[in-house]
Amino acid sequence: MGEAKGGRSAQLKHTGLRPGWTTGACATAAATAAYTALLTGDFPDPVTITLPRGQTPAFALSVEELAEGRATAGVVKDAGDDPDVTHGALVRVTVRRLPTGSGVVFRAGPGVGTVTLPGLPLDVGEPAINPVPRQMIREHLARVAAAHRGPGDVEVTVSVDHGEEIARSTWNPRLGILGGLSILGTTGVVVPYSCSAWIDSIRRGVDVARAAGHRHVAGCTGSTSEKTVVAEYGLPEIALLDMGDFAGAVLKYVRRHPVERLTVCGGFAKLSKLAAGHLDLHSARSQVDKPFLAQLARRGGADEALAAEVTAANTGLAALQVCQARNVPLGDLVAVAARDEALTVLRGAPVAVDVICIDRAGTVVGRSGVR
């Protein structure tokens, strides 16, 4: 895949990481190349597109197929230095002529999902090609039509090789997007380690749960905490938000789109970071604050000797264990502090919150109660 004009590496020069392109950008490039070939007989290779923020990347074509009334082009997605599950996926677009007045019609080909649940920015039954990629494709097809005097009435079928298999490691099945991947991207650019797709999935998870009428959702740091919440409350999968380290993303979105009750469940060490005021719980961006844990332990009756042990502990779990041995409820204290921090972020939104802390085995080691 080619470079954007002006050097795309300059965009993230301060990080040293190479950005990449979204599936929406790849689909736009493939659609542009396919429609150009349909009207002219030749595939532009590389094909250049204009992204919403003005970048003009050029994409090499991996597939070129021209037949009567239709053309197919394919682009291999380059996610740059981001650990994106769709990196290296082949995005194919087939453009087929339609009768005059039909406009642009989108279809899901193999490996692209179909929306089956309400709450997403697309209607049920629609191919999972998000609004911004749709608009990008429409705009580029209109330019091609204007340049080559084409009618602009076409069917656009987007496919992703092995997309159904790749989608199993995404949120799509839980969001009711079945049969494959979503074609995503609001800027066309993948910013390494921004985790924008994950955060967007958290937001869509809230939307789908609300649309399905669920008043109680849970933000969980992983599969073990999900199992704990299901055992505690019997919540269905659609009400479980795989928030990972992004507690702040859950809280800020629920603040704007309230649910009646939010449970936050996760490992003791991670939730101790939330208790201390961190909204990103990743180990590279926040650390367990053991002096803070010692302060909480004092509130629970720890003497100075125990507080010193907590401060000197190698890990958050070790701090918890020394307190458990002395009957100091550090787990509960962390859960309460995390709940109170969550309520602070919610800023008075009508959401009741409780927090559950677990250990690595999934045993509950702390509860806050609902407030």
Flag whether pLDDT at 14 surpasses 70.
no
Flag whether pLDDT at 8 surpasses 90.
no
Flag whether pLDDT at 58 surpasses 90.
yes
Are the CB atoms for 241 and 202 separated by under 8 Å?
Answer: yes
Single out the residue of 26, 25, 44 nearest to residue 34, CA to CA: 44
The secondary structure of 13-38 as a DSSP string is TTTTPPPEE-HHHHHHHHHHHHHHHH
CA pair distance 44, 30, nearest whole angstrom: 10
Q: Which residues contact 147 (CB under 8 A, 6 or more apart)?
A: none
CA pair distance 339, 32, nearest whole angstrom: 50
Counting residues of the chain whose pLDDT is more than 90, the rounded percentage is: 90
Give pLDDT tens digits for 327-348: 999 999 999 999 999 999 999 9
**Encoded tokens for 254:** 């629920």
- Secondary structure tally for the chain: helices H, strands E: 12, 18
The predicted structure's pLDDT at residue 9: 36
Maximum separation of any 2 CA atoms in the chain, in Å: 83
**Encoded tokens for 240:** 């479980």
Task: Give the residue-averaged pLDDT of 175-204.
Answer: 92
Which domains occur in the chain, in start order? 8-190 (3.30.2110.10), 196-367 (no CATH)
Residue 3 banded pLDDT, cuts 50, 70, 90: very low
Give pLDDT tens digits for 106-147: 999 999 999 999 999 999 999 999 999 999 999 999 999 999
The pTM for the full model equals 0.85
What's the full length of the chain, in residues?
A: 371
The predicted structure's pLDDT at residue 15: 52
Task: Give the residue-averaged pLDDT of 154-177.
Answer: 96
CA pair distance 161, 127, nearest whole angstrom: 16
Task: Give the residue-averaged pLDDT of 267-280.
Answer: 97
Single out the residue of 126, 346, 326, 146 nearest to residue 253, CA to CA: 346
Query: What are the beta bridge partners of residue 102?
Result: none
Give pLDDT tens digits for 281-303: 988 789 999 999 999 999 999 99
* Mean pLDDT, all residues of the chain: 94
CB atoms within 10 A of CB 344: 11
**Encoded tokens for 307:** 């507080």
Single out the residue of 71, 45, 41, 57 nearest to residue 7, CA to CA: 57
Flag whether pLDDT at 5 surpasses 60.
no
Are the CB atoms for 93 and 108 separated by under 8 Å?
Answer: no
Give pLDDT tens digits for 348-363: 999 999 999 999 899 9
Q: Distances in Å between the alpha carbon of 177 and those of 113, 119, 305?
A: 5, 11, 54
The helix/strand/coil state of 190 is: strand
CA pair distance 108, 127, nearest whole angstrom: 5
CA pair distance 137, 97, nearest whole angstrom: 15
Flag whether pLDDT at 256 surpasses 70.
yes
Are the CB atoms for 31 and 95 separated by under 8 Å?
Answer: yes
Task: Give the residue-averaged pLDDT of 252-269.
Answer: 98
The helix/strand/coil state of 123 is: coil
Give pLDDT tens digits for 68-120: 999 999 999 999 988 889 999 999 999 999 999 999 999 999 999 999 999 99
CA pair distance 43, 1, nearest whole angstrom: 15
